[in-house]
Structure formats: structure tokens, C-alpha cells
Amino acid sequence: MTATSIGVYDFFKFGNLCCVSIKDRFVSGEMGPDTQIGTDIGHAAELLRRAGIVGIPTETVYGLAGNALDEDAVLSIFKAKNRPFFDPLIVHTYDIAEISRYVTAIPHRLWPLMEVFMPGPLTVLLPRRDLIPDLVTAGMERAAFRIPAHPVALELLRSLDFPLAAPSANPFGYISPTSARHVLAQLGGAIPYILDGGECTVGIESTIVGMEGETLVVYRLGGLAIEQIEAQIGHVKVRDHSSARPSGPGMLESHYAPHKRMIVGDIDQLLKEHTGQKIAVLSFYKKYGDGPHYILSAERDADMAAKRLYAGMRELDATDADLIIAESLPEGGLGRAVNDRLKRAAAR
């Protein structure tokens, strides 16, 4: 299927969801059933040059990449993920000079952050030039930019003469993938190729920031801790809002979620409240009960917990438990972002 031109008004015309399921597309013969995993950067680049979409590694989570300047490629990303058009995509490049080709300005307060944390798990919202299609930003004036700190992603980006739009490579709303195998499990059949760059070292998505006047606002907690940002530029505002349909920067209340119901709280208490049910436990550092369980970090290390969080949620989601119960981490460092993901995974 080829995309005709999609303008900003079409977001409203199409409504919330891009409704072609992966299964429907098999049936209609639009997509072949074969998805390959490999390490051939040249092959991935070739597919991307032909407006194809490819699973790519980054240090945070795996992305589902396509040419950010090509509406057909971007449309294919939305379809493969079943993602609503109101949820915009991050544009990935290999250096700051590249980013500056696609924006009208870089606010001075963002410079120190960009210089220190790019490449890295930081995404910045910047006023875009018209080169970036409306479809990428859901019609918003700012586009999101990120430089992934992953050697395979950087080599791929350097070999292309266009940036890559890449959301996390999971069906909309589900847990993000932190390995090529995770991508295959969910998007196998819907995409031709997954570039394998090993397990993600950070494990949760990038931290998203932007300016509102002179104030630096954090719109999504993520793999770059607030303390690290504040050490560079002083106090920042965390706009940790969530809604069913965000009008500004995307912060969906229910997200990153397993299929099973999940509850976050005091595990001993929750085990008592749910006796008689099969329970899987996702804990920070110690084991509870005798059912399926996943320990995030026996050493109580929040970075390790972030790295293992999504794999743990997937593993427990695949058990025969009725319910997953989980506990929050102490709020410091990446603990805060892990708690944010747990909260959204548990929201219904």
C-alpha cells in the first residue's frame, strides 16, 4: 500500500488509531512472513534507502526505524506498530551539526546538555524546519531529536544521507524491546530486517526535554537521570503529567504495559490480599513467595534494574500467572524513571 500525502488535518480525519493489524496485513498479502535478524549494517541501510523500515539497536531500547524525511516510510512505521497518529516520533541523527540542519534554532540553555549528553539517552524538542514532515511530529512545531550512543546505530546513521524516525520497536502500548529477539517476537512478519546490536545497556527510553520560555522542562523521565541534568544546568521542572490523549509532548498514562494485569505496591501486603490467585513477582532485590519471580538487581543497583526491567516484565508476562505484582525502587537516579514505567505499566 502506498501512502498518499498525509497533512496535519488528516490526524483528525483518521481519528485515533491506525487500525491495520499485522494479522490483517498477512491475510491481504501485503507483507511477507519473513523477518531476518542479522548484523549487516549495509543491508539495513539499503532497505532504509528504499523507504523500508528496519529494527535497530540503541543503548536505550530497540527502535523501529525509517527515513524521517519520507512520508511513506514514516507511515509504514505507524502501521507496523499500530500507533495512533497523534503520538509523534523521535528523529535520530549522528551528530549535533546534523540536528541543526533540521531546526530553526537551538535554545542556548540546551547547548550544554546536548554537548555533554549527546550521543546518549537524551532527547531534545527543537523548533523544526519544514523538511520534517507533519506526520513525524503529529503536526507540532517542535520535533524531537536524539543521537543514540550505540556504535551500530551511529554507523548506520553515518552511512545514510537522511535522519531516522524511530519509535520503540513494540506494538503500541506494549513493553519496549531491549534485544533483537524481543523485536522479532512482536514485529516478526511485519518488518523485513532487525539489525542485532546486542542487549541494550540502558534499558529504558531516553529522557525528553525542551524549553518553555527560560525554563527547562522534562517531559519524559528516562535513561538520563534528572540529577545528571541538574548537575549541568541547575534546577529543572519535571512535567510528569499523563493523560489518555496528550495534546502536547506525548505522555500516555497507560503505556509500556504487559498483557497481564499488574499492580505496584508493598509486595508482602499484595501477596496477602491476593491469596488464591497465581501471582508473579517483580521485585527490586529480594525474592518473595514461591511463584514465578524476577529480581531486578540483587545488588540494589537502580541502573541495573532499569536495564533489566522490560526483560523482567516480558518474562513474567509469559508465565501462567493471573497477576504481576511489583514494588517501586528508591526514587534516586534511574529509580525514578523505573518507578514511572512501573506506574504506567500498571495503569488501566
Residues contributing to the site for Mg ion (CB under 5 A):
168
**Residue span 35-64 as binding mask against ligand TXA, x where in contact by CB under 6 A, dash where not:** -----------------------x-xx-x-
Picked from Mg ion, ligand TXA, none, the partner binding residue 89 (CB below 5 to 8 A depending on kind) is: ligand TXA
d(CA 30, CA 178): 27
Instruction: Out of 54, 99, 135, 143, point to the residue binding ligand TXA (CB under 6 A).
Output: 143
Shortest CB 348 distance to ligand TXA, Å: 19
CB 195, CB 181: distance < 8 Å: no
Picked from ligand TXA, Mg ion, none, the partner binding residue 137 (CB below 5 to 8 A depending on kind) is: ligand TXA
Number of helices followed by number of strands (H, E) in the chain: 13, 15
Spatial strand order in the sheet of 261-264: 261-264, 323-326, 279-283, 293-295
Shortest CB 144 distance to ligand TXA, Å: 3
> 124 forms bridges with which residues in the sheet?
145, 209
* 45 or 208: CB nearest Mg ion: 208
Query: At 110, which helix (H) or strand (E)?
Result: helix 110-117
> 183 forms bridges with which residues in the sheet?
none
* 88 or 133: CB nearest Mg ion: 88
Picked from ligand TXA, Mg ion, none, the partner binding residue 99 (CB below 5 to 8 A depending on kind) is: none
Instruction: Out of 166, 187, 262, 270, point to the residue binding ligand TXA (CB under 6 A).
Output: 166
d(CA 279, CA 202): 28
Q: Report the site for ligand TXA in 178-237 (rule: CB under 6 A).
A: 205-206, 208
* 168 or 186: CB nearest Mg ion: 168
Shortest CB 252 distance to Mg ion, Å: 9
Shortest CB 256 distance to Mg ion, Å: 7
Non-local CB neighbours of 48 within 8 Å, separated by 6+ positions: 54, 65, 66, 67, 73, 156, 160, 164
Q: Report the site for ligand TXA in 74-103 (rule: CB under 6 A).
A: 87-90
Picked from Mg ion, ligand TXA, none, the partner binding residue 178 (CB below 5 to 8 A depending on kind) is: none
Q: Report the site for ligand TXA in 113-132 (rule: CB under 6 A).
A: 123, 125
Non-local CB neighbours of 31 within 8 Å, separated by 6+ positions: 22, 25, 189, 190
Shortest CB 105 distance to ligand TXA, Å: 15
Three-class DSSP category at 220: strand
Buried-exposed string 286-315: b where 16+ CB fall within 10 A, e elsewhere: eebeebbbbbbbeeebbbbbbbbbbbbbbb
d(CA 177, CA 290): 27
Report the interface residues with ligand TXA, using CB under 6 A.
58, 60-61, 63, 87-90, 123, 125, 137, 140, 142-144, 146, 148, 166-168, 205-206, 208, 249-250
